[in-house]
Chains A and B, each alone.
Chain A
Amino acid sequence: MTALLTILILLSITVAIWQMVKIFDLANANTENSQIATDKDNRVNGYLMMAFLAFIYIITIVCFVYWGDLPLMSNAASEHGPGLDALMIVSMVIIFIVQTITQFLLHYFAFKYKGEKGKKALFYADNDKLEFIWTIIPVIVLAGLIIYGLFTWSDIMNFEEEEDALIVELYAQQFNWKARYAGEDNVLGMSNVRLIDIDRANILGLDESDPNAQDDVIATELHLPVGRQVIFKMRSQDVLHSAYMPHFRAQMNCVPGMVTQFAFTPTITTAEMRQTPEMIDKVANINRIRTEKSKKLAEKGEEPLERYEFDYLLLCNKICGKSHYNMQMKIIVESEEEYQAWMKEQQLFKNSLVQN
């Protein structure tokens, strides 16, 4: 209903403006009507250019004030996260400066040099020195950014496997995630989708004869011990998916037919993250919004929304079909002891098979 009303309002505004333009045209009917800009048009549009510059600046400020806390750009929960955020901030600052200056020059010149009858423009076609300056400045700035970026990238992607690293397989299928832990031996058992046997509950296609597979653990929640490097091996059984873990600044596609990988070390447990001031604010804000939505729902006689509590998430971030929008898995970062306790409760692969 809201949408319909909005559209009706928009339509009436359109009609109104169209009528105004018609009136304007009629008023000008007897004067010059060549549809080419006159001095008056130049003046009006020149001032509008300045107004538009103000609009760009205002919308920038508004965006930063209201949505500039960028919860997923600060408060990174992985070891490489803060370094990546720093690169992001440096890039943003450079962009901000260039944007502010160039938009000013563009719109201010448009305003300042608005056309007048009888005035003549400056015949100024070339200046090698200027061309050189604005070639070399971007070269220097970009060289810096490229080098900085490549070091950051290489640190993240060319990781060294630490001794106590945890190996976890992220397994994607339309439309859910599974996590497979390597177990005591920390070696994932061999697998291939051709070995999937639904009747025996071998849902990830593990090689039942592989000794390494016997102690593997398959879970629907991703539990990670804090402070330990996790090496993810990604697999997909059907279409492309992308394992996106924004809080950890981690993402990698899951590609059928191959294994991709990504590694990071979680640094903040779920419980700690919930207690950070930024997160407390964010969650309070979200719950305020949810309470209001619930009120509306209650009026319609529908179920109210649940209260939100923060959890890390793994999202699918590559279009994968109908329920792409709801392909997620909860991530829980906890202390080593909690993690071990949780792991003890899990069923080993060899015990999970249905015997027949």
Chain B
Amino acid sequence: MSAHADTHAHDDHGHHHHKETFITKYIFSQDHKMIAKQYLITGTIMGVIGVIMSMLMRMQIAWPEEPNVIFEALLGKWAPDGVMDADIYLALVTIHGTIMVFFVLTAGLSGTFSNLLIPLQCGARDMASGFLNMVSYWLFFVSSVFMVLSFFVEAGPAAAGWTIYPPLSALPMAQGGSGAGMTLWLVSMAIFIASSLLGSLNYIVTIINLRTKGMSMTRLPLTIWAFFITAVIGVISFPVLLSAALMLIMDRSFGTSFFLSDIFIQGEVLHYQGGSPVLFEHLFWFLGHPEVYIVILPAMGLVSEIIATNARKPIFGYRAMIASILAIAFLSTIVWGHHMFISGMNPFLGSVFTFTTLLIAIPSAVKAFNWITTIWKGNIQFNTAMLFSIAFVSTFITGGLTGIILGDSALDINVHDTYFVVAHFHLVMGISALYGMFAGIYHWYPKMFKRMMNKNLGYVHFWVTSVCAYGVFFPMHFIGMAGLPRRYYTNSNFPLFDDVSNVNVIITVFALIGGVFQLVFLWNFFYNIFYGKKTVQNPWRSTTLEWTAPIKHIHGNWEGEIPHVYRWSYDYSKPGHDEDFVPQNVPLKEGEEELHH
């Protein structure tokens, strides 16, 4: 059966799809709304695993010498008598990073909302290819399984950091995790990349070809613009990581020397000659840096939409917002070298990358000021989604500003790979993107599950999370500026850093509170899927097309004809209208001008 954006008569929808079985409806579904939910739930489960890992790491850092029953319970043989093993600490670092960046904030965030919103907001019956969409999800699922499985191999999961720099990741004798664990990591990522590419191609084709009548590119909601550009960056940069992964697999298993040369380890000289680990760094970061924009751009799109809706105001500077997305996307592909200032590459390259990197601050600043101006003189409805969106802007600014230090090659010499970096990227892409994801979930939950989340639980979740996020990552800048390197299993071998050990305890306490409070969210999320209050069709009084679709999910999204679009998506509080929002499918009144934005 076909879930294509079909052209057949629309009034027969009720009869057309009644042969659905459990399997075609819930498992191998080709319907974009179901696939979005599958992405979201898989991403959430991976998120829970990733967050638990971070809590384990924080406990280890704060109380390194003390045996901990939690370690013993969760890590088993890797925490004999409750004392965490140094190898498994690095494995936690690695898998936490991989899971959060790729499985939660790429697939969980972009996968969920691109799938849900692209057809609904563009006015399409489904994705361009429902089949590819289904394959994309299932590849993602398989790669998630491989990643989790790596915890159950004899020598432990990959432990070379999420950047898996060779030779550490290439040589099984260099560390336990570089054996079967690393093989699983590479296989998992290769499948993940295939999934991501299939998804991205589908998004691009759908947005270009399947917009409803009247939906010109400059009437699209910013969410769609963000998903569109994200998909383009993904298509450009993910294949490069795939090639790096394949070359690494060959170095590991087939004796090639792409990344290895002149190595003496464990008493023997290895045969590798002529390769360079720096080449791997280039290839990795050619994806790795765009990847952080693959993570953050969809969040920016969601947040723009939610801020406008809840401030009951048009997004300020619509065209400037699109221009800044384009500028960020373009710049994102030419800044990767700022991760490598001290990798041994030519210092002149360092200068070039400093220049391009700091330029990104300009479109970022434009976006931040536009969001602030959007809420100015608004009539702000503090739904939970709005709170998370405002907090997104806040953490994006706080985290983004320190990028000015890290992007500056000279300053990077001293703070590179310290906790300053950890604080920076967690705020600007980790926490911010997570807030974008939370905002999206709270906002589109009624669309996905036909029920409402509890707002008071949402408020509790938001405020505790928000305080804890700053409590964790703000002080972390300071231990970084004291010179403390990241990825140390314990700092007790350096009395020099004893005076920041109390900061680490404070950070851990905030992290544990924040982590535990995500239970409030999980409860709110899963409980209300079944028992939540039923939603009305357009609970947030929004202008975009998805809210014109019926609450009940049907194949093809709209009964009858797809709505036509007559205006842009931000006609909030427009003078001359009684309501404070005018949906996109409402024709212009006589004499009404479409705002020339």
Question: Quick check: A142 and B168 within 8 Å, CB to CB?
Answer: no
Please name all residues of chain B whose beta carbon is closer than 8 Å to the beta carbon of A59 when the two chains form the complex.
Answer: 470-471, 474-475
Please name all residues of chain B whose beta carbon is closer than 8 Å to the beta carbon of A194 when the two chains form the complex.
Answer: 262, 264, 269
Question: Quick check: B498 and A134 within 8 Å, CB to CB?
Answer: no
Asked whether B37 is an interface residue with its Cβ less than 8 Å from the other chain, the reply is no
Question: Quick check: A88 and B411 within 8 Å, CB to CB?
Answer: yes
Question: Quick check: B409 and A153 within 8 Å, CB to CB?
Answer: yes
CB-based nearest A residue for B347: A157
Q: Out of B278, B381, B418, B595, name the residue touching A125 (CB < 8 Å).
A: B595
B413: min CB distance to chain A, Å = 5
Binds B, one of A18-26, A211-219, A341-349: A18-26
Q: Out of A11, A138, A174, name the residue touching B174 (CB < 8 Å).
A: A174
Question: Total A-B pairs in contact (CB under 8 Å)?
Answer: 421
Please name all residues of chain A whose beta carbon is closer than 8 Å to the beta carbon of B500 when the two chains form the complex.
Answer: 67
- Given A251-B413, A260-B344, residue A103 in contact with residue B398 (CB < 8 A): yes
Bound complex: CA A60 to CA B347 (Å): 34
Asked whether B537 is an interface residue with its Cβ less than 8 Å from the other chain, the reply is no
Asked whether A354 is an interface residue with its Cβ less than 8 Å from the other chain, the reply is no
B89: min CB distance to chain A, Å = 8
Q: Out of A109, A257, A317, name the residue touching B372 (CB < 8 Å).
A: A109
Binds A, one of B130-138, B144-152, B454-462: B454-462
Asked whether B529 is an interface residue with its Cβ less than 8 Å from the other chain, the reply is no
Asked whether B489 is an interface residue with its Cβ less than 8 Å from the other chain, the reply is yes
B 224-245 to A, binary, CB cutoff 8 A, 1 in contact else 0: 0000000000000000000000
Question: Quick check: B390 and A49 within 8 Å, CB to CB?
Answer: yes
Asked whether B531 is an interface residue with its Cβ less than 8 Å from the other chain, the reply is no
Asked whether B554 is an interface residue with its Cβ less than 8 Å from the other chain, the reply is no
Bound complex: CA A120 to CA B160 (Å): 55
| Interface residue range, chain B | 35 or more
Please name all residues of chain A whose beta carbon is closer than 8 Å to the beta carbon of B575 when the two chains form the complex.
Answer: 123
B 502-545 to A, binary, CB cutoff 8 A, 1 in contact else 0: 11000001001100110110010000000011001001100000
A contact face: mostly helix, strand, loop, or mixed: helix
CB-based nearest A residue for B274: A257
Question: Quick check: A246 and B263 within 8 Å, CB to CB?
Answer: no
Binds A, one of B112-120, B284-292, B314-322: B314-322
Question: Quick check: A290 and B86 within 8 Å, CB to CB?
Answer: no
CB-based nearest A residue for B574: A123
| Interface residue range, chain A | 35 or more
Question: Quick check: B368 and A102 within 8 Å, CB to CB?
Answer: yes
Asked whether A82 is an interface residue with its Cβ less than 8 Å from the other chain, the reply is no
B516: min CB distance to chain A, Å = 5
A 102-122 to B, binary, CB cutoff 8 A, 1 in contact else 0: 110111011001111001111
- Given A14-B517, A63-B475, residue A109 in contact with residue B404 (CB < 8 A): no
Please name all residues of chain B whose beta carbon is closer than 8 Å to the beta carbon of A14 when the two chains form the complex.
Answer: 516-517, 519-520
CB neighbors of A among B364-410 (8 A): 365-366, 368-373, 375-383, 386-387, 390, 393-394, 397-398, 401-402, 404-405, 408-410
Q: A2-B63, A121-B573, A253-B344 are in contact. List 6 more A-B contacts (CB 8 A).
A: A6-B512, A103-B397, A119-B379, A126-B318, A131-B320, A258-B278
